Amino acid sequence: MNDFKGFKGQTAVLTGAASGFGLECARFAAREGMHVVMVDVQADALATAAAEITALAAAQGGRVLARQVDVSSAEAMQALATEVQQQFGAPSVVFNNAGVGSGGLVWENTLKDWEWVLGVNVWGVVHGVRLFTPMMLAAAAADPSFQGHIVNTASMAGLLNPPNMGVYNVSKHAVVSLSETLYQDLALVSDQVHAHVLCPFFVPTGITASHRNRPAGMSDADAQPTRSQLIGKAMSEKAVGSGKVSAADVAAKVFAALRDKQFYIYSHPKALASVQTRLEDIVLARNPTDPFKDKPEVGQQLRAALRGA
């Protein structure tokens, strides 16, 4: 039996809220009558997005709090969590969504590449989980009607291992693992707080331009993009830009999953065939299947480009 009572009057905290999935989920939350806490590192985009969401939320009786935050910073996230608690109490929805992309052959990524991607994609989720989960559990203990949801944005790259994007793959596998463990841990202690993991495929969101927000301290001054990184960026931009599923479509799937207490959320369920193949490789101790077996021309193009042919 589903005891879902709706979202009106509750609070949603969303990181990466100025664009992509975060912005579309903020729009959805505002239309549902929620209070919306919008978090992003890009100040100008956040200001524009917050103005829109404030108008949407006000029409439904909701309030908006917008904060520029680097989610990889423990101190900044702690300050955010404290302010949310003071202004709204425990949120009912936390969407740990902020993410950045980086590609290239795995040995060619610099230490700064690893630190930047893991800082945002992994530590950003870790901070959201460790700070807001106890808040939700305390609210649940105090109120039998409280329902909390923690949604972590991973990727199909968290269930597969596509070549030439190793740093991103590693970060998103970590998010899937953290989310699955969170689901199991929560089930031990509460029936009121739930975990979910979003695994989108190619959806136009702006993540291929995430380097625009890369802090100066997370860049190597003398490092130039390698051939593999330039090729990976071009291929990602083409694949993401041609996506038929929109970020708004994904936001609707996210909120439907919250209502249904569905853990795995997919933008492209057909892509799960590749996940099944990978799991069969593991169970059968089979060497990893060629990811381009169904599109050999793409694999041939990438190999030729990387080998300089």
pLDDT digit string, tens, across residues 56-85: 999 999 999 999 999 999 999 999 999 999
Yes or no: say if 69 and 41 are a contact pair by the CB < 8 Å rule: yes
Residue 303 above 80 pLDDT?
A: yes
Q: How confident is the model at residue 211 (pLDDT cuts 50, 70, 90)?
A: low
Indicate which residue of 168, 183, 264, 266 is catalytic.
168
- pLDDT in the model for residue 239: 67
| Contact predicate 164/103, CB 8 Å | yes
Q: In the chain, which ranges are continuous DSSP H helix?
A: 20-31, 43-58, 74-88, 111-118, 124-142, 166-189, 227-241, 247-260, 272-283, 296-306
pLDDT of residue 102: 86
Same domain, 212 and 291: no
Question: Each residue of 177-200: pLDDT tens digit?
Answer: 999 999 999 999 999 999 999 999
**How many whole angstroms separate alpha carbon 89 and alpha carbon 11?**
8
Rounded distance between C-alpha atoms, residue 246 and residue 243, angstroms: 7
Q: What is the pLDDT of residue 132?
A: 98
Look up residue 100 and give its DSSP letter: -
Closest-CA residue to 256 (of 201, 198, 207): 198
Q: Are residues 243 and 307 in the same domain?
A: no
pLDDT in tens, 9-33: 999 999 999 999 999 999 999 999 9
Domain check: are 87 and 179 in the same one? yes
d(CA 116, CA 121): 8
* Residue percentage of the chain with pLDDT more than 70: 92
Q: How many distinct structural domains can be found in the chain?
A: 2
pTM (predicted TM-score): 0.93
Same domain, 209 and 253: yes
Q: Is residue 2 part of a domain?
A: no
Q: At what angle do helices 296-306 and 227-241 cross, to 10 degrees?
A: 150
Q: What is the largest CA-CA distance in the chain?
A: 65
Q: Can you tell me the distance from the alpha carbon of 285 to that of 282, in angstroms, rounded to the nearest whole number?
A: 5
Q: Is 168 a catalytic residue?
A: yes
pLDDT over 80 (residue 251): yes
Provide the residue range defining the domain that includes 169: 11-267
Residue 260 makes CB contacts below 8 A (sequence gap 6+) with: 2, 4
Where residue 242 falls among pLDDT bands split at 50, 70, 90? low
Residues 226 and 279 in one domain: no
In a domain, 257, yes or no: yes
- For residue 76, what is the domain's CATH number? 3.40.50.720
Does the structure show a pLDDT above 90 at 123? yes
Q: What pLDDT, in 10s, does the model give residues 130-180? A: 999 999 999 999 999 999 999 999 999 999 999 999 999 999 999 999 999
Q: Is the pLDDT of residue 214 over 60?
A: yes
In a domain, 1, yes or no: no
- 161 and 230 inside one domain: yes
- 120 within some domain: yes
Return the structure tokens found at 110: 């610099």
Q: Does the residue 301 lie in any domain?
A: yes
**Do residue 216 and residue 184 come from a single domain?**
yes
Q: Is 126 in the same domain as 183?
A: yes
